[in-house]
Amino acid sequence: MQYDEKRLTRIVATDCGSTTTKAILIEWIDGEFRQTIRGEAPTTVEAPLNDVTKGVINATQELEELARLKYHNPNIKFMENGEFVIPRKGDIGVDAYVSTSSAGGGLQMMVTGVVASMTGESAERAALGAGAIVMDLIASNDKRMNHEKIERIRELRPDMILMAGGEDGGTVKHVVEMAELVASADPKPRLGSGYKLPVIYAGNKDAREEIVKTLGEKVDLIITDNIRPKLEIENLLPAREKIHNLFMEHVMKQAPGYNKLMEWTVGPDHEQVPIMPTPAAVGNIMQAISKEENIEVVGVDIGGATTDIFSVFTKDFIFNRTVSANLGLSYSISNVLASAGLENIMRWVPFDINESELRNMIKNKMIRPTTIPSLLEELVLEQAIAKEALRLAFEQHKSFASSLKGMQKQRDISEAFSQSVSGETIVNMMTLDLLVGSGGVLSHAPRRNQTVMMLIDAFLPEGITRLSVDSIFMMPHLGVLSEISSKAATEVFRKDCMIYLGTCVAPVGKSKIGKPALYAKLELPDGSVFEEDIPFGEMRLIPCEIGKVAKATLKTHSGLILDADRKKEITVDLHGGVVGIVLDTRGRQPFVLPTDKNERISALKKWMKALIVYPENILS
Amino acid sequence: MGQAYSAGLTVTDSIILRKERILPLKGQVLVKKGDKVKAENVVAETLLPGKVIPFNLANKLGVTPQQLVNFIKIKPGDKITKNTVLAETKGLFGLGIMKTEVLSPIEGEVENISSVTGQILLREPRIPVQVKAFIDGLVTDIIEDEGVIIENKSAYIQGIFGLGGETFGELKMIADSSDDELDVAKIDSSCAGKIIVAGAFAPYHAIDIARKNGVKAIITGGIDDQDIKKLLGYDIGVAITGHENIGITIVCTEGFGRINMAQKTFNLLKRFEGYKTSIHGRTQIRAGVIRPEIIIPLQFEEQELVAKEVTMPILEIGTVIRIIRQPHFGRIAKVTALPEELTKVESETLVRVLEAEFEDGTRIIVPRANVEVIES
């Protein structure tokens, strides 16, 4: 159901995260929707409070107080007697309240399939796309023995299981065998023991009868369309919808206070607006940007515990989401060190530091996750760790976001010698139009230039790519808001949420340090002209305001290329942003940092100075 | 704003504790309400289902899953011993010549037989699990078939990070002061079965000697990350600990690196030297935070068992705080002002700060996120 601005003049949206409940106020002002005020309070799903609505009330109270101050009107109130007043009557109440949630660990799922890289992966894609954390993928062909699989299922205690396997008319035996393993593990749901674990079956339709026989009495079995009816067809939507319904009906109802919260989230006519898992809401927004502007998008949300990556690629707008459950900057910071290795972190640090000191610093952040870097050196180190967390999460995403594996592909003679195979990644950095960053370390970096540097170093965009950041982390709110007003969500997204940082131009290929790499002539909106033949191994920052465009002539040397057509010379409009236009001639495929420590440190300092990333004193 | 909430770890010489001791599955509670229990007493026990052993009986017999029913000798629920005949073919001409037999590989029971896949599931015998009281105290409530609530009065210290599971023993001071390093020369057979207290730091070789001398647990201010890697054989990725099998429990009160143990914590441990103490290293720093605990049970009367209402520690002028991040990590100070406006710190981050004063009179400005309240 969609409403227009006459029915929606004031909306409260919250995101109940594992540690903080973030509330924003959206209002219809002077003929447009704007996000006007933001408040937050600790989330209250744990003892002693055990009721998520307490945190929502606290965050909303902060909104009310700030609204009274902003409009010099002591009568403004959104809630009365601890509940939202809907619809709004003058100063009192709001027209809608919507919310997302990842509190209490979000939605945790286990998926099963027959072949891990085929039906198993499709099941994983469906679960991730619905906003879940996939705790494990169990397949007939994974290397574990059956008794190990049973033990694993038993110890996981997921919120629900999604079972796939077999194309329609294909294997029944393997699918039923997997159901037998699930049945004998007799898994229990994570929250509450008073209900049966929901299991969605989305496999071979010929096996349904046997699946009901095997599992029907032990679990709450829901049957839906096959996720992979044929090898070359993936049909994720019916399973995703079932996951969303079950999330509301089962999981949310078990979480403390959610029964009440679910009654609260309503539109102006008091019809329910379902609470959405936070990543599902962010996914909605990413897909909406991509479709509306007809562009390819990569988005990232880096948190304290997990990093989510979203992408929309190809002309069919294929959407993928991955969550790296143990890559983050506070709770999971130590795991970034364990996964990336100390050397990979140190390669981004423009000074020398004792290894033991760095390791202890990282561990101290892990055990005291809410502390913030007060010293400049510590900020530089945290941002170096962020680059590695982002890089690792993106690597996982690239290998997951692929064309369907196991397909027979007919090739003509021109393709016979090419390397293309099924299961190749569809992430193409050269055709990517927009990279969106979000999450504390990116949204709240003291200088936006630091955000630009982190995004470029971690994602290594190729050719011409626009960069942006979620100003105050409101993509989840807007994702769920779009359920009742896509107009409000889009307007606020453009005006208040998305901050364009600028554009990165990065020729692809290899050359020698100092050899001419990129001739760039930029006619800037203020009438000035930037012109330089930039050598290989350099970075340049050319200020160009947000909303403005520079007319650029770009010409590469030494076999470097600038776009998917392998062009070496192009004339193009480059969009500005709060940071500006970055010309990066450090090379791609490969991107190489000097191996000698002193050379590396001096190169890092040179680039960081060029992009004005840190104060001079730490770079001299 | 005159005050703000801030997290902190509890260090107190007297608290009313209430511990749930619950079985992983329903079972039998062995004590009753009003019983006085010791840490080492078993309060509840149960039998966990045994391991499931699946295997394809039809394949082993060389028949189709549908034919299996003609040859099978068992049914779900049957008790079996090792070598029980699970199925056999009739052999040539039904005379038993060249017949195939499949014998059970385990003792246990038959869980399931599938005519679709030909797979059978056997379950090994149940595994007994016992829950101990862990602390000396009084059973104040019974949760039927699940466990008990035990209450007592204790001196109580929350650690920041730990390794290893629950244990108990007598408290013994090794350090003379809170800035000492654990001295190997002082660890000998007299430490066996004890919980020993180091000062600022416990290096790997000292932990190893303690372990060899039968020490049950070490309480230290700081520990080095690389020493932990040596102890465990791997790098800790996510702080969910307590299950490590390293033959000793370790509780850190301050953090990683060499950090003086907070004087209040050190003095408290010193005051209770010789007391029986319960300790665990279980740590979880995500949703459902768990911190390691050091519990020193005290004498109490039943009517004293009234827990104080939980209050959030409050930051206000005069509050004693500990700084929990560089610079000045580990130092104690007193809050002198709580300015409202955001302030730019050295890293150029705009944050809420507080002003505080060290004992020597020097004043500092610290982000509020980088302090914890020391409760008096």
| A145 and A62 assigned to the same domain | no
Quote the pLDDT of residue A454.
Answer: 98
Q: Which of A202, A211, A207 is nearest to A236 (CA)?
A: A202
As given in the structure block, the two tokens for residue A132 are 């879940």
- pLDDT category, A472, cuts 50, 70, 90? confident
- Alpha-carbon distance of A144 to A218, in angstroms, equals 24
| A299 and A230 assigned to the same domain | no
Residue A453 pLDDT > 80, yes or no? Answer: yes
CB-based contacts of A243, cutoff 8 Å, min separation 6? A107, A109, A126, A127, A130, A132, A160, A162, A200
| DSSP bridge pairs for A540 | A583
Strands (E), A508-567: 516-523, 529-535, 539-542, 549-556
- Alpha-carbon distance of B264 to B321, in angstroms, equals 12
| A343 and A438 assigned to the same domain | yes
Kindly report which listed range (A405-409, A464-468, B200-204) carries the lowest average pLDDT score.
Answer: A405-409
CA dihedral B266, B267, B271, B273 (to 10 degrees): 20
| A112 and A197 assigned to the same domain | yes
| A111 and A71 assigned to the same domain | no
Q: Do A363 and B256 touch (CB under 8 A)?
A: yes
CB-based contacts of A153, cutoff 8 Å, min separation 6? A110, A138, A181, A182, A185, A187
- Domain closes at, from A45, A69, A103: A103
Whether residue A60 is contained in a domain is answered as yes
A371 touching chain B per CB within 8 A: yes
Question: Closest approach of chain B CAs to the CA of A366, in angstroms?
Answer: 7
B contact test, residue of A371, A379, A447, A608 with most B CBs within 10 A? A371
Residue A217 pLDDT > 80, yes or no? Answer: yes
| A188 and A235 assigned to the same domain | yes
Q: What residue in A sits closest to B288 (Cα-Cα)?
A: A46
| A395 and A517 assigned to the same domain | yes
A573 touching chain B per CB within 8 A: no
Q: Supply the CATH number for residue A191's domain.
A: 3.40.50.2300
Kindly report which listed range (A152-156, A232-236, A499-503) carries the lowest average pLDDT score.
Answer: A152-156
Judging contacts by C-beta atoms under 8 Å, the chain B residues touching residue A388 are none
Whether residue A620 is contained in a domain is answered as no
| Residue A151, domain extent | 106-254
Q: Do B287 and A184 touch (CB under 8 A)?
A: no
Burial of A102 (0-12, 13-18, 19+ CB in 10 A): buried
ipTM of this predicted structure:
0.85
| A98 and A150 assigned to the same domain | no
Judging contacts by C-beta atoms under 8 Å, the chain B residues touching residue A184 are 52, 54, 111-112, 121
Q: Do B239 and A146 touch (CB under 8 A)?
A: no
H-run or E-run covering A125: helix A121-129
Q: Cβ atoms within 10 A of the Cβ of B167, count?
A: 18
Whether residue A260 is contained in a domain is answered as no
Q: Do B327 and A375 touch (CB under 8 A)?
A: yes
Alpha helix (H) residue ranges in A146-268: 146-156, 173-185, 208-215, 237-246, 253-254, 258-264
Amino acid at A535: P
- Domain closes at, from A50, A83, A103: A103
User: What average pLDDT does this structure show over A67-72?
Assistant: 92
Strands (E), A536-597: 539-542, 549-556, 569-575, 580-584
Quote the pLDDT of residue A411.
Answer: 46
H-run or E-run covering A409: none
Judging contacts by C-beta atoms under 8 Å, the chain A residues touching residue B254 are none
Residue A208 pLDDT > 80, yes or no? Answer: yes
Judging contacts by C-beta atoms under 8 Å, the chain A residues touching residue B238 are 326, 331-332, 334-335
- Alpha-carbon distance of A231 to A233, in angstroms, equals 6
Nearest 5°: phi and psi at A62? -60, -40
Domains of chain B are: 53-123 (2.40.50), 160-291 (3.50.30), 314-373 (2.30.30)
Amino acid at A238: P
Quote the pLDDT of residue B2.
Answer: 38
Q: What residue in B sits closest to A103 (Cα-Cα)?
A: B287
Quote the pLDDT of residue A326.
Answer: 77
| A372 and A333 assigned to the same domain | yes
Listed by number, the residues of chain B in 238-267 with a beta carbon closer than 8 Å to a beta carbon of chain A are: 238-239, 255-257
| A335 and A472 assigned to the same domain | yes
What's the total number of domains in chain A? 3
Verify cis geometry, omega within 30 degrees of 0, for the bond prior to A507. Answer: no
Whether residue A4 is contained in a domain is answered as no
Judging contacts by C-beta atoms under 8 Å, the chain A residues touching residue B52 are 147, 150-151, 184-185
Whether residue A411 is contained in a domain is answered as no
Residue A88 pLDDT > 50, yes or no? Answer: yes
| A586 and A457 assigned to the same domain | yes
| A87 and A123 assigned to the same domain | no
- Alpha-carbon distance of A404 to A234, in angstroms, equals 8
Most confident among A152-161, A225-234, A542-551 (mean pLDDT): A542-551
Nearest by CB to residue B236, choosing from A18, A183, A334, is: A334
Quote the pLDDT of residue B267.
Answer: 96
Quote the pLDDT of residue A290.
Answer: 92
A contact test, residue of B55, B117, B283, B324 with most A CBs within 10 A? B117
Residue-by-residue pLDDT tens, chain B, 376 positions: 334 445 568 889 999 999 999 887 778 999 999 999 999 999 999 887 777 788 889 998 888 888 888 899 999 889 999 999 999 887 776 666 778 889 999 999 898 888 888 888 888 888 888 999 999 999 999 999 889 999 999 999 999 999 999 999 999 999 999 999 999 999 999 999 999 999 999 999 999 999 999 999 999 999 999 999 999 998 888 778 898 999 999 999 999 999 999 999 999 999 999 999 999 999 987 656 788 999 999 999 888 888 776 666 678 899 989 899 989 988 889 999 988 778 999 999 988 899 999 989 999 999 988 998 876 6
> Phi-psi bin for A305: left (phi > 0), alpha (psi -120 to 50), beta?
alpha
Whether residue A278 is contained in a domain is answered as no
Q: Do B235 and A184 touch (CB under 8 A)?
A: no
Quote the pLDDT of residue A473.
Answer: 81
Please indicate whether residue A380 or residue A303 has the higher confidence score (pLDDT).
Answer: A380
Q: Cβ atoms within 10 A of the Cβ of A449, count?
A: 21
For B174, which DSSP code?
A: -
**Would you say A166 and A174 are in contact if contact means Cβ atoms under 8 Å apart?**
yes
Quote the pLDDT of residue A419.
Answer: 43
Whether residue A577 is contained in a domain is answered as yes
> Phi-psi bin for B93: left (phi > 0), alpha (psi -120 to 50), beta?
left
Whether residue A504 is contained in a domain is answered as yes
Quote the pLDDT of residue A33.
Answer: 96
Q: What is the pLDDT of residues A264-288, one digit of tens each?
A: 999 999 999 999 888 889 888 888 8
- pLDDT category, A43, cuts 50, 70, 90? confident
Quote the pLDDT of residue A158.
Answer: 86
- Domain closes at, from A103, A124, A146: A103
Q: Do A374 and B160 touch (CB under 8 A)?
A: no
Please indicate whether residue B282 or residue A411 has the higher confidence score (pLDDT).
Answer: B282
CB-based contacts of A194, cutoff 8 Å, min separation 6? none
What is the Rg, in whole angstroms, of the alpha carbon atoms belonging to chain B? Answer: 29
Q: Do A331 and B239 touch (CB under 8 A)?
A: yes
CB-based contacts of A390, cutoff 8 Å, min separation 6? A300, A302, A307, A454, A455, A458, A459
- pLDDT category, A456, cuts 50, 70, 90? very high
Q: Supply the CATH number for residue A54's domain.
A: 3.10.20
Quote the pLDDT of residue B286.
Answer: 65
